[in-house]
Amino acid sequence: MSKKKVFAISNALSNGIEETIKAAHDYSGELRVEVIPLKRIELDPDNPRDLALTYEDAYQGIMKSDPQYARKEHEIEALRSIANSIREQGIINPIVVYKFGEKYRLVAGERRTLASIIAGKTDIQAKILDSKPTDLKISLLQWIENVERSDLSLWERLKNLEKIITAHAEKQGQPHQDISVTELSNLIGCTKPHAANYKTVLAADEELKQFIFSNQIRSLEKAALLATIQSPELRQHALTECLAGAKLKRLRAIAAQIPIKTSPAKKPLESRGRQTTTVNLGMTRNIEVAQLILDSILKNNALASIAIHFKQVDWSDYRAINYTFKQLMKKLEELHA
C-alpha cells in the first residue's frame, strides 16, 4: 500500500500567510468570506492566465472547430477529478476575489472556479476583498494559494515569482535584479537555498527557460544546476541527460567534471552513463520559421492523413504552437512505429 504524501507549511510561510492576509485586510478595509454566484465571477485582465480553457468553454463545452480544441480537452479532463471532489465535498479552500462593480474579479482559484462550473454548481465560497489589492499583494496571495498544489508546473511558479519580485522591487524603488536571496526567502517564506535556486533559474538563458516552459524540465534543483554550468560542452551533456531522465546526483557528477578540449581530428569522447535515446530538434522564437517548418512537413503527400489535424493553429500563442508541434511529433511517431 503506497504511503500518502503529506505536505507541510513552514513556520515562516505560516507567518507570511498571516501577514499577507492582514496586509490585504488593511489595504482593502475588509476581508470576508461569502458564497457568491459563479456567474458573477470574471477574470482580472491584468493577471496572466496559464489555462487556455475559458468560463464559456466550461459552461457550453468546447467546439471542435476551436484552434485550441486538443489543449482545452486536456485541461478540462485534468479538472474533472477536482470537479468530482467538489461535487462530493464542496470547496474546502475558498477562492479569492475582489469587488469590481457588480462583478467579482478573480485573484486566486481559477481551477477551482472552472471545476465548480464543470461540477454543475451555481455558487462558490470566496474570500472577498472590497477593492483591488496592489500587484504585490495579489502576487503573494496567488503564491500562498498555490504553494501546496502538486500539479503546479515549475514554469507557473517562476511566472508567479517574477510578478512578486517585480512588484516588490517597484515598491522598494530598486532594480529587480538587486533583490537578495535573504530578501526573497523572507518574501515568499522559503529556505535560503530554495530562494537561491529560484533566483538562479530566473536569471537563466532563454534556451533553458524554453525547456522549463514546455515542461521537459520540472525540477527546480535540476534547472538551477544546469543554469550554473559554464562549459558549453558539459552543459549540453548535462541537458541531454536531464531530458533523458537523469537524477540530480548524476547531473551533479557531470557538472563537477573538468571539460576536455579535443581537436577536430580526434575521435569525439564517448559520453558516460545512460545512452541518449531522444533527438532534440532545437527551438526558435520566430513564429514565421515555425509556420514554415510545419507547412513544409505537411506538404509531403505521404502525410496527407495527418495534415487535417493541423489546419487551425493559433500562431499568436506560443503555448498553442508548442502544443501543435508536440502533437505533430506524436502523429509522426505513430506513423513510423
Residue 232 lies in a domain: yes
Under DSSP, is residue 126 helix (H, G, I), strand (E, B) or coil? strand
Specify whether the CB–CB gap between 66 and 98 falls below 8 A.
no
Same domain? 47 vs 64: yes
pLDDT (0 to 100) of residue 29: 44
In the predicted model, is pLDDT for residue 147 greater than 70? no
| Grid coordinates of 139 | 502576487
Share of the chain above pLDDT 70, in %: 78
Q: How far is CA 47 from CA 105, 107, 139, 141, 142, in A?
A: 10, 8, 9, 13, 10
Residue 48 lies in a domain: yes
Residue 244 lies in a domain: yes
Same domain? 238 vs 314: no
Residue 66 lies in a domain: yes
Residue 191 lies in a domain: no
Same domain? 34 vs 124: yes
- Torsion-angle region of 297 (φ positive above 0: left; ψ -120 to 50: alpha; else: beta): alpha
Residue 56 lies in a domain: yes
- Mean pLDDT, range 59-70, rounded to an integer: 88
CA-nearest of 320, 328, 319, 322 to 298 is 328
More confident residue, 94 or 135: 94
CA-nearest of 222, 217, 209 to 283 is 209
| Grid coordinates of 265 | 581530428
| Grid coordinates of 118 | 464543470
Same domain? 255 vs 294: no
Residue 81 lies in a domain: yes
Q: What are phi and psi of 125, to 5 degrees?
A: -80, 135
Cβ-in-10-Å burial (0-12, 13-18, 19+) of 76 comes to buried
pLDDT (0 to 100) of residue 223: 93
In the predicted model, is pLDDT for residue 165 greater than 60? yes
- CA 207 from centre of chain: 16
User: pLDDT (tens digit, 9 = 90+) per residue, 7-24?
Assistant: 444 555 555 555 554 544
Share of the chain above pLDDT 90, in %: 15
Tell me which of 62-76, 83-97, 131-145 is least confident: 131-145
- Domain encompassing residue 73: 30-130
Tell me which of 69-78, 130-139, 199-208, 256-265 is least confident: 256-265
Same domain? 86 vs 121: yes
Specify whether the CB–CB gap between 94 and 116 falls below 8 A.
no
Same domain? 255 vs 219: yes
DSSP 8-class letter at 258: P
Mean pLDDT of the chain: 78
User: pLDDT (tens digit, 9 = 90+) per residue, 95-130?
Assistant: 889 888 889 988 888 888 999 999 999 999 998 887
User: pLDDT (tens digit, 9 = 90+) per residue, 37-57?
Assistant: 999 998 877 665 667 888 888
List Cβ neighbours of 298 (8 Å cut-off, separation of 6 or more). Answer: 306, 307, 310
Cβ-in-10-Å burial (0-12, 13-18, 19+) of 113 comes to buried
Same domain? 316 vs 302: yes
CATH of the domain at 72: 3.90.1530.30
Domain count of the fold of the chain: 3
Please state, in angstroms and rounded to a whole number, the distance separating the CA atoms of residues 95 and 241. 40
More confident residue, 263 or 234: 234
Same domain? 38 vs 126: yes
| Grid coordinates of 282 | 532545437
- Mean pLDDT, range 269-277, rounded to an integer: 54
pLDDT (0 to 100) of residue 337: 62
CA-nearest of 224, 128, 166, 171 to 48 is 166
Residue 13 lies in a domain: no
Please state, in angstroms and rounded to a whole number, the distance separating the CA atoms of residues 96 and 30. 13
Please state, in angstroms and rounded to a whole number, the distance separating the CA atoms of residues 283 and 210. 8
Same domain? 244 vs 317: no
In the predicted model, is pLDDT for residue 66 greater than 80? yes
> Where is 118: in which H helix or E strand?
helix 110-118
